[in-house]
Amino acid sequence: MFEQLMIPVSAYAYMSLFITSFLASTVLPIGSEALVILLIRSGYDLPVVVLVATTGNYLGACTTYYIGLKGRTGVIEKYLSISRKDLEKADRWFTRYGSYALLFTWVPLIGDAITASGGLLKLNFRIFSIYVFIGKFARYLVLAYIAAGI
């Protein structure tokens, strides 16, 4: 009976991972790490899990960037739960590290603020994309290898 239940779950595993990763980088204070670990330990293809999680999380970050780019600080504070204090902290990261700060958009509490600040500061989207994707990819790759016990 358990095997019959697993078929529908496995059919939607990657879609669930994508949606969870996307939402984790936008409006919901959730993490996608547990699902990544579950999928890796359940035998799902490590490179595919990493790529799906990275893509979803990156696209969520692009959404947050766009909201910042449009100068919607009220939306950022209300719906993305990013305070002005966190935005100011992110601005200090940009002052100190420049665009390299985008490599750390995966860091809990400050990561979403860095993403939104990137938009507010009207950073070049190509540079934003490269650094954010690299940072998120590295994070999921390390997490997946740890989960796999490699």
Instruction: Write down the pLDDT at residue 143.
Output: 95
8 Å CB contact between 115 and 132: yes
Model pLDDT for residues 83-103, shown as the tens digit of each residue: 788 878 888 888 888 889 999
Instruction: For residues 135 and 104, give the distance between their C-alpha atoms in angstroms, rounded to a whole number.
Output: 6
Instruction: For residues 39 and 101, give the distance between their C-alpha atoms in angstroms, rounded to a whole number.
Output: 29
Instruction: For residues 69 and 76, give the distance between their C-alpha atoms in angstroms, rounded to a whole number.
Output: 11
Amino acid at 10: S
- What pTM, to 2 d.p., does this model score? 0.84
